[in-house]
Amino acid sequence: MRKTIFLMALILAGSMTVSAQRPSIPDLEQNIKDLNTIDPDVGKYFPRWRIMEADLKTKLALYFRSVGVPVKTSDTMTVTASFDKGNGEHQDILQIRAGSYPGSELNSRQAVESALGVDLYQQILNRKYAHTEIPPAKPITKTGADRVPSVFYPTNAKQFVAISAFRQAVQIGTTGARLEHLLGSDEVGYPFWSGGQGKALIDYPIIRQENAELRSDGVPDPFKFSLGVGYRLKFGAPDQSPVTDLFLPRRLNSAIGPKAIVRAEYRLPQLNDLGIGFYTELPFNKQTSSEGVRGNDEVVWVRDSILTTRPAVPIRTAFFLRTVTQGNLFWENWFDNYEHYVRFSLGMSYQEFAVGALRVGENWLDPDGVTTRFVDERGVVQQGPDASPPGLADNVEYRGLVHPTEVQDWLYAKIEYLNQSDFPFGVSAQLSNRNLLLSGFVPVVPNWLFLQAKYSTALLRSEPVPWEQKTFIVISPVLRFMLE
């Protein structure tokens, strides 16, 4: 009897246990969904990339909207693929995610091909379009997107070309070497032609970041060096061409001869977020009392007069940016999985401006462009022969130098911020030479067309000096092409 009761109890308990563990229909549906969905904690170890091509994002958004999912072209669209085994087996797309809406995923190759077609599947997989690679996560270590101090230097291309009114750059190969041409003297707050000069530079990393793990985290090269030449601009003068009507004309000239330009950036060992920056531009020609120069179609000037003579002599005074030397200590860091980059720089800046009078031979040229004058041995002002051709001087007589004399003249400070999300933009503010320079860019067409603006104004003084505009604004599109 006891055995019978025990056996019946055991059977009843077993039936209750089986009944309690029986899965419901929603549980079964969730299990099926889990089998066809990539766990986010696992997917981050697979090859992934963000789609940046506007046309392709539009096609994906149209598909999802056709099935009732409100995906927009501005949403982040991410592709997760299988590993490339390298033995002839092709990769497969494991998942396409568009935004974070319910149902905004396509999981498995079969699902993608069924929804989008074989041709579009292969197009997405081949990656022959604008995209941003997402580095795979490393087990036990935290990682994220590349640390890139500027979106103008893409990291997923071996070659690239960037073109704007301010700057043109070309990078070829994987050495990190870059050729650049720049307009302006941003270092002292004079962007575009307001700085009076152009620069041609080659930028090269002297000490490469050899640690592969640090490089994958985006730690920059410890020592970068740029060497080049500067030259005087021949455009941007008032009434010179219709282009000058777009922006305020320049009032400053670069040194008459070429300049040597050196830029270096060194990050302290074991402290990659701290570093030292250095920049200098020095004229090849040693300054003398006078220097030969071509006419006023190249040299911009202002009306002035020599007051030490009787009567005063009206002249054309020109200003020349000769020397710039800067040194700074900077701190930089990345936040929120490397989507936000900030940099603070603080240092000193020395800039030297030469003041000169335009002459024809030994005679000062009048602002009217024809009359010339000189002072004879008795100290009397005499009129010389008329300038021929009118308005053209052939040399400049230097009458003085302007260089830092107060603490504010020496101060250099700069703040930079970069957002590296799917809508990358950047802004910076620089104080140098008592000038505030604001700069920023935003994307127009993802990954290849940007809009950049620069604004400068005198600061820490009541009025701008004669070679400065009160404010100077310039806007330019930036085209960027990447080649694999």
Task: Please list the residues that pair with 203 across neighbouring strands.
Answer: 178, 226
Query: Residue 39 — very low, low, confident or very high, per pLDDT cuts 50/70/90?
Result: low
141 is a domain residue? no
Q: What is the pLDDT of residues 330-360, one digit of tens each?
A: 999 888 877 788 999 999 999 999 999 999 9
Residue 5 domain flag: no
Say if residue 222 is in the same domain as residue 255. yes
Tell me the helix, strand and coil percentages in the chain, rounded to 5.
20, 40, 40
Looking at the structure, tell me whether residues 183 and 285 fall in a common domain: yes
Same-domain pairing of 433 and 295: yes
Q: Is the pLDDT of residue 86 over 50?
A: yes
The answer to the question of residue 84 being in a domain is: yes
Contacts of 317 (CB under 8 A, 6+ apart): 301, 302, 303, 304, 355, 356, 357, 358, 399, 466
Query: Which range, of 104-113, 166-175, 291-300, 368-377, averages the lowest pLDDT?
Result: 291-300
152 assigned to some structural domain: no
Quick one: 194 and 279 in the same domain? yes
The number of domains in the chain is 2
State the chain's mean pLDDT as an integer: 83
Cis, bond preceding 311 (omega within 30 deg of 0)? yes
Q: Does residue 168 sit in the same domain as residue 114? A: no
pLDDT digits (tens, 9 = 90+) for 142-200: 444 444 556 566 655 567 888 998 899 988 777 778 899 999 999 999 999 999 999 99
- Answer left, alpha or beta for residue 292, where phi above 0 means left and psi between -120 and 50 means alpha: beta
420 in helix, strand or coil?
Answer: coil
Structural domain ending residue among the three candidates 134, 168, 191:
134
Q: Are residues 127 and 173 in the same domain?
A: no
In a domain, 15, yes or no: no
Instruction: Tell me, yes or no, whether 331 and 232 share the same domain.
Output: yes
Cα separation, 307 vs 375, in Å, equals 13
pLDDT at 468 over 50: yes
What is the rounded distance in angstroms from the CA atom of residue 483 to the CA atom of residue 359?
52
The tens digit of pLDDT for each residue in 104-125 reads 888 888 888 888 898 998 898 8
Task: Grade residue 10 by pLDDT with cuts at 50, 70 and 90.
Answer: very low
Residues 324 and 450 in one domain: yes
111 neighbors 97 (Cβ within 8 angstroms): no
Distance of CA 477 to the CA centre of its chain: 12
Kindly state whether residue 154 falls inside one of the protein's structural domains: no
| pLDDT tops 90 at residue 392 | no
| Domain of 100, in residue numbers | 23-134
* Beta-sheet pairing, 167-171 with 159-163: antiparallel
Residues 171 and 281 in one domain: yes
Give CA–CA dist 461/458, Å, rounded. 7
* Distance between CA atoms of residues 346 and 325, nearest Å: 14
pLDDT in tens, 271-281: 768 999 999 99
Backbone angles phi, psi at 56, to 5 degrees: -70, -40
Q: Is the pLDDT of residue 88 over 70?
A: no
Q: Is residue 447 part of a domain?
A: yes
Pair 75, 179 in one domain: no
Q: How many residues does the chain have?
A: 484
208 located within any domain: yes
Domain end marker among 134, 169, 194: 134
338 shares a domain with 400:
yes
Q: Do 328 and 423 have their domain in common?
A: yes
